[in-house]
Structure 1
């Protein structure tokens, strides 16, 4: 009869042990792997977007020109404002969306590239405020993590001495 009473306790202890083993296995994943995954995860959507802004080397696409001059506006404090210098903004966005993801994938200047992506995400949020939950918040979280922790051991930063570990 006492075995029956202890069965739930044994089950809980076994479950707790299994959870601890799983947590230990997860904790043993080298830090470099999730940082590499974050670098790729944030780079892909920005790079793909950057490709749509160009019709050749430094030739802004008609679509990008149209969006920045006619469609996009900044939503600030309940009002909408046109982009200042829209062609310049489109050009800078296009350059940033190509260069920054490449730097992130390489892990070169990771913290600075991530800050650039974070700043772009803030502007995108002001431009498309309804995108915060599905896109902008995850992008900002990934960029912030990379800005805080750098590219990790699997990065060019590490090779050139920029990948000092943050304690």
Structure 2
């Protein structure tokens, strides 16, 4: 398995809508395994393919707590088919927006239809952290970031900070 580099804000790739997958095959399962390895290394609890530069409708999640056995899940072409009216608030972070956290309000539970790593259609009803994580990662597949759910002022400050960090990472050009 390979740890892949993460795409970091303000990279425009994060705003791209990911393409549905036509089939589940061995190269796709390898990408899922690489994504899980990347997510564990970061460390995080969810990762969308777009975050490793692959604009494909696939995400991985493992919400097992530290000390618990890993419970990796792969979601291919996930779609939310039902959202509850009840809302919940969780403090979210994102591997593509390192070291920034904010409270986000989302539906408390969702039902998601998807293909598993074998290509079989599945449906899951999730609440709590799993519901939040699924919504966060599916947002990524649609070019939406969790900061899009916070106030415009806070979002603008975060984007400005990450644009400055990206500029500072650029090698300076020496004339000589």
TM, length-normalised to structure 1: 0.27
Return the structure number with greater helix share.
1
- Structure showing greater radius of gyration is 1
